[in-house]
């Protein structure tokens, strides 16, 4: 994939307006929830659009209030919200903002959700379990959201839970470029899928790096815990890149890294799009054999709190270009050479 295709949206030097018009009847406006306002600000700057003004607050009893401080009538409204902890508050805030936009006569409401909530609850693994990822899709649609933009879903079937369009973006080309710049590609490098379910995606990632492929076979005795059963493939004498979509408590990642190291890998690094980094993730990474962990800022990360081995890649350019393509009725898949559906 050509490096020039991504990250091309220029940052305007002048003070941006709160919207811009594609035609006399088409106007783009961007608003942010409280989960990742820095990311939303950088997206709006890349598009040359001022971030829309809102009033967002939580009452003493926990109820959320939202109001747009400028007219959204007839506008193509984009709401930026990563549903991180507190997950339920941020999800509810997004839906309340969508309802406010609909009642304010917005022409279309698009939810930009870099980190999609409840994505790991995408199927029934035991009797009487919910499929919560599907429930969230239903709630978003019911709140008036017409379209969803998201990044690196945990599983491809989540897109099928929506009865409206879902634009799926991936950070893999950005990770591939980073590792190529580090010299981690070609012979002597192996991409290791974090589990068997991501084998197809890991294979495509390995093709981007001209590398070999291996798989970590895991057993999950209970939620949030995993045990490495075997390493499928040859990692001995090679530099290994473990690829995953989420780092939560980092227990699974660090156990996998140790298993790959014990299998003979000379160096182990990792990449994951969503750095949730719940406790005790940072300490586990610090104590692990991992040489570097590359993540994106789809969720807010305090750079003062992370270990020096954690490298953060920004996603505002990818999101800004995708928003512009959606607004102009262009092709999102062309931004990724059709490789944004890797499942």
Give yes or no for residue 261 having a pLDDT over 90.
Answer: yes
Structure tokens at 60: 């003493």
φ, ψ for residue 161 (rounded to 5)?
A: -80, -15
Which residues carry out catalysis? 218
Whether residue 341 is contained in a domain is answered as: no
Confidence of residue 160 (pLDDT cuts 50, 70, 90): confident
Give yes or no for residue 14 having a pLDDT over 60.
Answer: no
Q: Are residues 149 and 201 in the same domain?
A: no
Q: Are residues 207 and 305 in the same domain?
A: yes
Q: Are residues 14 and 157 in the same domain?
A: yes
Give the CATH number, domain containing residue 123. 3.40.50.2020
Q: Are residues 14 and 104 in the same domain?
A: yes
| E strand spans, the chain | 20-23, 26-32, 54-58, 64-68, 76-80, 108-113, 147-151, 166-169, 189-193, 212-222, 225-232, 239-247, 267-275, 292-296, 310-313
Q: What is the pTM of this model?
A: 0.88
Q: Are residues 108 and 16 in the same domain?
A: yes
Mean pLDDT (whole number) for 155-176 = 89
Q: Are residues 296 and 186 in the same domain?
A: yes
Domain range for 320 is 3-171+316-336
Confidence (pLDDT) at 46:
96
Confidence (pLDDT) at 7:
46
Structure tokens at 332: 């999102």
Q: What is the DSSP letter of 104?
A: T
* pLDDT tens, position by position, 226-254: 677 789 999 999 999 999 999 999 999 99
Half-sphere exposure of 317 (CA within 13 A, CB side): 17
Q: Are residues 176 and 260 in the same domain?
A: yes
């Amino acid at each position: 994939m050509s490096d020039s295709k991504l990250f091309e949206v220029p940052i305007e030097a002048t003070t941006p307006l709160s919207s811009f018009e594609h035609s006399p009847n088409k106007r783009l406006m961007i608003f942010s929830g409280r989960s990742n306002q820095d990311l939303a600000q950088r997206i709006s700057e890349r598009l040359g659009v001022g971030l829309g003004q809102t009033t967002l607050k939580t009452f003493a009893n926990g109820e959320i209030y939202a109001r747009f401080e400028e007219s959204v009538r007839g506008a193509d409204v984009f709401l930026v919200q990563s549903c991180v902890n507190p997950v339920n508050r941020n999800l509810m805030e997004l839906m309340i903002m969508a309802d406010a936009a609909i009642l304010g006569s917005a022409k279309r409401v698009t939810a930009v959700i870099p980190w999609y909530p409840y994505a790991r609850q995408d199927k029934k693994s035991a009797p009487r379990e919910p499929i919560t990822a599907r429930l969230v899709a239903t709630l978003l649609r019911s709140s008036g959201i017409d379209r969803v933009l998201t990044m690196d879903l945990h599983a491809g079937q989540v897109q099928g839970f929506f009865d409206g369009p879902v634009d799926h973006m991936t950070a893999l080309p950005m990770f591939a470029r980073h590792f190529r710049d580090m010299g981690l590609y070609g012979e002597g490098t192996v991409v290791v899928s974090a589990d068997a379910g991501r084998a197809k995606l890991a294979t495509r990632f390995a093709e981007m790096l001209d590398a070999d492929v291996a798989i970590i076979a895991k057993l999950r005795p209970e939620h949030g815990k995993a045990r490495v059963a075997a390493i499928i493939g040859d990692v001995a004498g090679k530099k290994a890149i473990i690829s995953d979509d989420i780092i939560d408590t980092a227990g699974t990642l660090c156990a996998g890294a140790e298993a790959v190291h014990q299998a003979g890998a000379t160096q182990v690094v990792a990449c994951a799009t969503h750095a949730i980094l719940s406790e005790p993730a940072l300490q586990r990474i610090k104590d692990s054999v991992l040489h570097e962990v590359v993540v994106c800022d789809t969720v807010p990360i305090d750079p003062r709190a992370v270990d020096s081995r954690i490298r953060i890649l920004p996603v505002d350019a990818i999101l800004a270009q995708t928003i512009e393509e959606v607004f102009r009725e262009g092709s999102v898949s062309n931004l990724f050479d059709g490789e944004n559906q890797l499942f």
